Chains A and B, each alone.
Chain A
Amino acid sequence: MGIDRRKFIKASGLAALGLVSAAPVRLFGQHDSNMVDTTTPASPPSDGKPLVGNRWAMIVDLKKCLHEEGCTDCVAACHLTHNVPKFDNPKDEIKWIWKEGFHGAFHELGHKHLEEHILHSHVPVMCNHCDSPPCVKVCPTQATWKREQDGIVMMDWHRCIGCRYCMAACPYGSRSFNWRDPRPHIDKIDPNFPTRERGVVEKCTFCDERLAVGKLPSCVEACKAKALVFGDLEDAESEVRALLAEHYTIRRKPGLGTNPEIYYIV
């Protein structure tokens, strides 16, 4: 059954691709200008057409992010949209995006004489949608897989057997497990997004459900500092490419060869 559903999803993705290529919409690049204005509001014209990319990626501009000290708007927005439960006991915690201490996020990069404000900062982290994701390799049931058309590392909550091998394999601690029934712990259930059940793994999915209806990921939309930028790496005109060309960026644990697709401007 799962295979059928996946085939269906794939087929509808391709259909969408066909639709869009017939009427191309450029959402992130501005063709007519070489200068990319990174301060333009990131929310695209939400005309309901799916956002299509060949390799989605996210850029986190830490200069802007760290300016908003203590802000957790991205976390709140993501967790609200995706019915992520809140548990009092840290042991049961589930998180899709969160703020990690600089040392935790960039384990091998920091040193103790780093600028104070960086050393003690907290940077947003989430699933990196790795290009060679170890979590996908180890999953014994293909409940987690990399979407061919755009590189998003997806999860099928109905197929996951809860073995947590993916959690042992992810070098970024990006996955959470439903140790208990999550539903009683969701503040306000959004009926537009499925709630999960006990015993399965979950994580950030780059808001694939929003992309499908032409919306940007909710964290990107919620960031008042415009520190999060989402876009297609294979589109040479995209804002993410422009930012990568302009700034020095780092990634988490690059030496492992997982090729994370979240880039940080420092």
Chain B
Amino acid sequence: MIEKALYGDKKYWGWLILLGAVIGVGTFFYLRQFSEGLGITGLSRDVTWGFYIAQFTFLVGVAASAVMVVLPYYLHNYKAFGKITILGEFLAIGSVTMCMLFIFVDMGQPFRILNVFLHPSPSSPMFWDTIALSGYLGINALVAAVTLSAERKAVAPPKWIKPIIILSIPWAVSIHTVTAFLYAGLVARPFWMTAVLAPRFLASAFAAGPALLILLCLLLKKLTKFDVGKEPIEKLAVITTYAMCINVFLVLMELFTGLYSDIPEHVSHFQYMFMGIGEHTFLMPWMWASIILAVFSLVMLLVPKLRRNHTVLAVASVAVFMSLWIDKGMGLIITGFVPNPMGAVVEYSPTMPEVMITLGVYAVGALLVTVLYKIALGVRRQLLDH
């Protein structure tokens, strides 16, 4: 099966070489970080988590969103998703791998990471998150491998895989919930201490993930002859629309609670995010961009006529994805630390090495997803040829 990844046209190899180059640059900067320490990042005593942990948080959502295709297909027997479940599962595998890499590059002592298992601490959400993520990776890899190889042999997948597929559904919800719990229970950070954090994480994930899947499907149709058909794309668009509405609703809930109560320690974070505090305005333009993109995408998605046009849908999907990436990948983590517990505003912005390492990790994910998709499409094509 794997050999399917070894045959491709020039475009395919060109893309892989490009990704390889980005990974190379990322690795170079990681080695520098490894020898000099995390001092080469923009992080400080006051903002101790930044770009890496934010990407991790965002990508956990993308990984969890695979449930949005797995659930209708396996639980409700929604046949139209037959062609894309494997794409969803492979996307999840790529995302979880990136999550793990982001955690890894954020560690001060990466070689001690096994201490999490050698000295397990059940009171730490990080311990549970490690278990949830590795379990999810295992489940998805197994399910994808078993169903795809059954498909190749043109037989029905073995019965024993069904309960594991069903298990993957609550498991997907759990990875994003546990990730929210990493933040939501900290007395030190009022910005994260909100019960809607986990629901919000899920809503934004179920919008961002399917939006990305729509884009990948449209791209596949353009680049290869693989067409998933109109119906699944339109269903994904509906899912994205609903999830995005719920996400925006939850954000408004947070704004009301925070701003109406007017407790300084809560308000100051929102103030930093949207208005900046004094001359500290790094996040402000980003957050407004996120709002504008969200509104813009909703307008396009909520009008069925627009949504059904695939060009408009592609634009809307990019807007959803970017809006949510800014919200989580930039805003959420950094804002939790600004102002600091002493009320002082110490800003953070990622440095060049940090951005390069981040791009490198994304390139690893893209490479993995490309190769996995190539295998999946290869198997499908072989079936058609026979």
Contacts and interface: CB of A to CB of B under 8 A. Distances in A.
B325 to A, nearest CB: 22
Given A91-B44, A139-B124, A141-B116, A173 B341 contact: yes
Contact of B37 (A101, A169, A171, A199): A199
Contacts, number: 145
Interface string B157-201: 000000000000000000000000011001111000000000000
B127 interface: yes
Give the contact-size bracket for chain B. 35 or more
Contacts of A108: 265
Contacts of A172: 188, 341
Nearest to A103: B343
A108 B48 CA distance: 23
A108 B343 CA distance: 10
Contacts of A201: 108
Interface in B68-103: none
B331 to A, nearest CB: 16
A141 B113 CA distance: 9
B305 interface: no
Contact of B116 (A161, A169, A181, A257): A161
Interface of A: 2-3, 90-95, 100-101, 103-105, 107-108, 134, 137-143, 159-165, 167-173, 176-181, 198-201, 253, 256-258
Given A160-B109, A171-B187, 15 more contacts: A105-B342, A140-B126, A140-B130, A141-B119, A160-B108, A161-B107, A161-B113, A164-B108, A168-B186, A169-B188, A173-B340, A179-B37, A179-B43, A180-B36, A201-B108
A168 B342 contact: no
Contacts of B49: 164, 168
B125 interface: yes
A176 B116 contact: no
B174 to A, nearest CB: 17
Contact of A134 (B113, B115, B186): B186
Given A134-B187, A139-B124, A200-B109, A161 B342 contact: no
Contact of B342 (A2, A104, A257, A258): A104
B188 A134 contact: yes
A3 to B, nearest CB: 7
Contacts of B116: 140-141, 161
A173 B108 contact: no
A201 B49 CA distance: 13
Contacts of B318: none
Give the top 7 A-B pairs by smallest Cβ distance, nearest first: A162-B108, A199-B108, A104-B342, A171-B188, A180-B39, A179-B39, A140-B126
